[in-house]
Amino acid sequence: MRLAGRTAIVTGGAKGIGKHYCHALAAEGAEVMVADIADGREVAAEIAAKTGRNSTDSMIFDVSDEAQCKALVAKTLERFGKIDILINNAALYAPLPTLKVTDIDVELWNQVMGINIRGPFLMVKHTAPHMIARKYGKIVNIGSGTVARGIPEFSHYVTSKGAVTAFTRAVSRELGEHGICVNTLAPGYTLSDTGLTNTVHVEKSRAGAIQRRAIKRDEYPEDLLGTLIFLCSKDSDFMTGQVLAVDGGTNNT
Ligand SMILES: NC(=O)c1ccc[n+]([C@@H]2O[C@H](COP(=O)([O-])OP(=O)(O)OC[C@H]3O[C@@H](n4cnc5c(N)ncnc54)[C@H](O)[C@@H]3O)[C@@H](O)[C@H]2O)c1
Mutate to test the pocket of ligand 1, among 17, 60, 69 (most ligand atoms within 8 A of CB): 17
Query: Cα–Cα distance between 252 and 249 in angstroms, integer?
Result: 7
Distance 196 CA to ligand 1 centre (A): 12
What are the catalytic residues? 157
Does ligand 1 come within 6 angstroms of the Cβ of 93?
yes
| Mean pLDDT score, 220-238 | 98
| Mean pLDDT score, 35-51 | 97
CB 244 within 8 A of CB 227: yes
Q: How confident is the model at residue 253, as a pLDDT?
A: 66
| Ordered structural domains, the chain, with CATH | 7-246 (3.40.50.720)
Which residue type is seen at 14?
Answer: A
Residue 172: pLDDT above 70? yes
Question: How large is the C-alpha radius of gyration of the chain?
Answer: 17
Query: Cα–Cα distance between 19 and 223 in angstroms, integer?
Result: 14
Does ligand 1 come within 6 angstroms of the Cβ of 37?
yes
Counting every residue written for the chain, the total comes to 253
Q: How confident is the model at residue 215, as a pLDDT?
A: 98
Q: How confident is the model at residue 54, as a pLDDT?
A: 86
| Mean pLDDT score, 116-137 | 98
CA distances from 75 to 58, 105, 135, 235 (A): 10, 35, 21, 29
Neighbours of 215 (CB within 10 A): 12
Q: What's the pLDDT tens digit per position in 3-36?
A: 999 999 999 999 999 999 999 999 999 999 999 9
Query: Cα–Cα distance between 11 and 33 in angstroms, integer?
Result: 8
Query: Cα–Cα distance between 44 and 13 in angstroms, integer?
Result: 9
| Mean pLDDT score, 209-228 | 98
Give the atom of ligand 1 at the shortest distance from the alpha carbon of 194. 20
| Mean pLDDT score, 147-171 | 97
Contacts of 217 (CB under 8 A, 6+ apart): 210, 248
| Mean pLDDT score, 147-165 | 97
Distance 177 CA to ligand 1 centre (A): 30
Which residue type is seen at 57?
Answer: D
Neighbours of 38 (CB within 10 A): 19
Residue 230: pLDDT above 70? yes
pLDDT band at 173 (very low <50, low <70, confident <90, very high): very high
Q: What's the pLDDT tens digit per position in 69-106?
A: 999 999 999 999 999 999 999 999 999 999 999 999 99
Distance 141 CA to ligand 1 centre (A): 12
Phi, psi of 239, rounded to the nearest 5 degrees: -115, 125
